[in-house]
Amino acid sequence: MGILEAIKADGYRIGPLQAIVYDRRKTDIFPPGFLSRLYFQFRGNRYSKGDGDGILSVFFCGMNDLSHDAIVDFWLHHATSILGVWKDGVFEPAGCLFPTFVIGAGEDERAAYAGYAFIRPYWGSQEEEVLAMIGITQLFVEMNLTALHGQRFIENDATAKFMARFGFRDLCTLPNQLNRGGKLVPMTISTLERSTFESIVERMVLEAYRGKKSE
């Protein structure tokens, strides 16, 4: 069993941290209004002094409609995985990750684009890194992906540095690709191959194990 399959066998959970695909029928985990509350955790001027969209305009880079109904509907139809923390029996969201579209006609050769974001209290935390690793693992395994791609505004250095920890590398920057305030701006595309990610996860797990033994 490979490292990614081992994480799947544990229910995509490490300690209190877990990635769970949203399912409105699982009301014990996702009570009514769950996605609405998540939406408003990403939105608002607590992230910036902009127009109140918070990090939504960066999270959903190029998307024209960032309204509550549009985003919640998008999450509902894109197998959104909630990256969260179990606290006293309650699953509290720290962020989310979802595929935007899949490439490939067969089961053996598939790739996908995906997006992710974390709410502000988890920025720069150890939980953020572990949850991102679990979420990416879930995408690779459940969708049987060979590669995972991402797109971002070219000035989004924070995402570039964070995703590089898991092996993402930039491929190219295309001009006039994303809508931003009614204007077309450049887009950078990055990619991560499954074999590269597996090697990095193995190293992360080994380092965590060594750290626990030295305590």
Domain positions in the chain: 3-214
pLDDT at 208: 74
Q: What percent of the chain has pLDDT over 70?
A: 91
The fold for domain 3-214 equals Aminopeptidase (3.40.630)
- Strand runs (DSSP E) across 36-166, as ranges? 81-87, 90-103, 111-118, 147-153
Asked if residue 135 has pLDDT above 80, the reply is yes
String of b and e for 152-164 (b: at least 16 CB within 10 Å)?
A: bbbeeeebbebbe
Asked if residue 184 has pLDDT above 70, the reply is yes
Q: Residue 134 carries which side chain, given as an amino acid letter?
A: I
Asked if residue 153 has pLDDT above 90, the reply is yes
Per-chain mean pLDDT for the chain:
91
